[in-house]
Amino acid sequence: MMTDIDYRKGAWKMDYLVEKVNEYMQEHHMAQAGEKIVVGVSGGADSLGLLTILSELAGYFHYDLVVVHVNHGLRGKAADQDQSFVEKTCKDQSIPCYSFHVDLKRFARKEGMSEEEAGRYYRYQCFEKVRREVDGDKIAVAHQREDVCETILFNMFRGTGIKGLTGIPPVRDVIIRPLLCVSRAEIENYLQRKGLTWRTDETNLTDAYTRNKIRHNILPYVEEHINPSAGQHIQEMAGLMRDISLYLDRQAEAAFDQCVSVGKNLVCAIHGESFKKLDVVIQREVLRRSIGVVAGKLKDVDREHVEMIRKLLDKHVGRRCHLPYQIQAVRTYEGITIKKDTMNEQQLDKVICMDVAAPGIYGIPGTSAEVELFVKENFKNEEIPVNRYTKWFDYDKIENSLSIRTRENGDFITLDGQGHKKLLKRWMIDEKIPREEREQILLLADGPHVLWIMGHRISDNYKVTAATKRVLVARIKGEKSDGRQYQSVIAGGRSGCPDTRTG
């Protein structure tokens, strides 16, 4: 197979836009030669451009393409024509096509979402369903540069933190977005050079949705009257904010380890003295992580809720505040405890021990929490998650059957790469974990060897290295998967993608 150097020397000629997208894909390690890519295609210019560009690159890098089209049932005959257009396009190019149909209005009512949210959620469920069925490696979607700008402005106008200013990531789990480096005009010009036509969704031409108002009115005004490069500058800012956000994540992770203990019922106990020493920015991130552990999601948790908890440290013991998802934060002698309002306190002494295997989702007795386990083999270009809820382990180093349980006599953990071990009891004492909390902490264990002290650290013995061939992914989930995020689809969240497809 020809390399990137080959085409630069003129071994073969590539359209300049295809070359631009290819370089962007290489920069962000989106796909390897020979991988199978599931492509979301609506029939519009962006998605048709994505399919056409990937089809060209497939000739050079041997990508195996599969198309997924979702008919939302909102536009009657026009939507059916979109579906026929996509299916014919794929047939002409001998590309497998899977079409899904949904009554989106009914689906949105059932799930308690807006139609916009429900459409996105349903689409990603369908993408993932097909990816798993065809043993695909990646899911490619057609977001482009203006989508980044619209997302950032939309988040700014409704209120957001740093993460809301990071825009749309080029890669997230198996999802790739090769067109983020190009504009809508560039895509349309490319299709015209190729002599291709595309479908137009009339709803995108109206101002019925907030994003359309930003797309049709705000961005064009800014680029015409303030700075024609405004869109490019917004995208560059998003990249900088993404770097800052990743740095804050690492700092918050270390701070969480330092001052938060997590019980088996996902009760977060924040130790006041160490928490007060943190910079206020890191304090807020630690509190958001704590809420996320207890609730399993962070949607609808805003700055006001975080500040309510911070102010508890200045209140008397026993004062509390109530948060979304039936959560409460209580001022204690040691600091602050965040837990479910409805928790049965008698459950805290309940012993847990259950054998588990991957893949699988395991409910924790007496709680609303679940732990999901699954194995990844294609992970070399992915970054190990830096968060409290998901951990990676070298699957082939596991010697016994796995269990999720509370502590037992003889449990130990490996502390470093030299193999130094410490009894779990001694580790808990050294970490100053209160005696009453030690029996509540959940463990993922390989016999007496503890892989993960949930809410705390993992064993060095099971860390992923360059030699790792298979990764065990362990993920804590809350009471109800957040259907508005793609992560819940990977995690096997709510169903809602009926087998109504062709292809």
d(CA 306, CA 323): 9
109-142: per-residue pLDDT in tens?
A: 887 778 888 888 999 999 999 999 999 999 999 9
What CA–CA distance (Å, rounded) separates 361 from 372? 4
- Amino acid 346: pLDDT: 46
Taking the C-alpha atoms of residue 391 and residue 404, their distance in angstroms, rounded to an integer, is 14
- Rounded to whole angstroms, how far apart are CA atoms 112 and 300? 14
Calculated CA dihedral for residues 153, 158, 163, 165, nearest 10 degrees: 20
Lowest-confidence pick of 301-305, 338-342, 349-353: 349-353
pLDDT given at position 351 = 54
Per-residue confidence (pLDDT) for residue 251, from 0 to 100:
92
Cβ atoms of residues 465 and 393 within 8 Å: no
Res 436: pLDDT: 62
Q: Between these two residues, 208 and 290, which has the higher pLDDT value?
A: 290
Strand duo 138-140 + 175-176: pairing: parallel
pLDDT the model gives residue 352: 66
Residue 4 predicted with pLDDT over 50: no
Q: For residue 142, what are the CA distances in angstroms to 95, 178, 255, 273, 501?
A: 17, 7, 37, 48, 21
Q: What is the mean pLDDT of residues 338-366?
A: 68
- Cα(366)–Cα(22) distance, rounded to whole angstroms? 51
pLDDT higher than threshold 80 for residue 86:
yes
- Cα–Cα distance measured from residue 51 to residue 93, given in angstroms and rounded to the nearest whole number: 11
The pLDDT of residue 207 is 56
Higher pLDDT, 237 or 378: 237
Strand, helix or coil for residue 55: helix
* Contact assessment for residue 31 and residue 63, using Cβ atoms and an 8 Å cutoff: yes
Supply the mean pLDDT for the chain: 83
Amino acid, res. 378: N
Instruction: Let me know if domain 263-343 sits in CATH 3.30.465.60.
Output: yes
- pLDDT at position 500 is 44
Q: What are the structural domain ranges in the chain?
A: 4-232, 263-343, 347-477
Q: Is the pLDDT of residue 493 over 50?
A: no
What would the pLDDT profile of 9-64 be if each residue is shown by its tens digit? 444 567 889 999 999 999 999 999 999 999 999 999 999 999 999 999 998 999 99
The SS3 call for residue 383 is coil
CA distance 139 to 131: 7
DSSP state of 218: I
Instruction: Say if residue 317's pLDDT is above 70.
Output: yes
H helix or E strand, kind and range, residue 470: none
Nearest alpha carbon to residue 478 among 248, 266, 164, 275: 266
Residue 387 reports pLDDT greater than 60: yes
pLDDT at 364 over 80: no
Tens of pLDDT along 413-442? 999 888 889 999 899 888 877 766 777 788
Tally of CA atoms within 13 A in the half-sphere of 117 that contains its CB: 12
Give percent of the chain above pLDDT 90.
37
Q: What is the mean pLDDT of residues 67-76?
A: 88
Q: How far is CA 275 from the centre of its chain?
A: 27
May I ask the CATH architecture of the domain 4-232?
3-Layer(aba) Sandwich (3.40)
Checking if the pLDDT of 103 tops 60, the result is: yes
Residue with the bigger pLDDT between 250 and 359: it is 250
Name the pLDDT band for 383 (thresholds 50, 70, 90): confident
Half-sphere exposure of 93 (CA within 13 A, CB side): 20
Above 90 in pLDDT, residue 187? yes
- Enumerate residues 6+ apart whose C-beta is below 8 A from 240: none
Beta bridge partners of 474: 373, 391
- Could you tell me what percent of the chain has a pLDDT over 70? 86
In this structure, which amino acid lies at residue 201?
Answer: D
Q: What stretches of 332-396 adopt beta strand conformation (E)?
A: 335-340, 353-356, 360-363, 370-376, 390-394
The per-residue pLDDT for range 227-267, each reduced to its tens digit, is: 988 888 998 899 899 999 999 989 999 999 889 988 767 78
**8 CB-contact burial (10 Å; exposed 0-12 / middle 13-18 / buried 19+):** exposed
Classify each residue of 305-329 as buried b or exposed e, where b means 16 or more C-beta atoms within 10 Å of its C-beta. bbeebbebeeeeeeebbebebebbb
Most confident by average pLDDT, 5-9, 146-150, 295-299: 146-150
pLDDT digits (tens, 9 = 90+) for 473-484: 998 876 433 322
pLDDT surpassing 50 at residue 144: yes
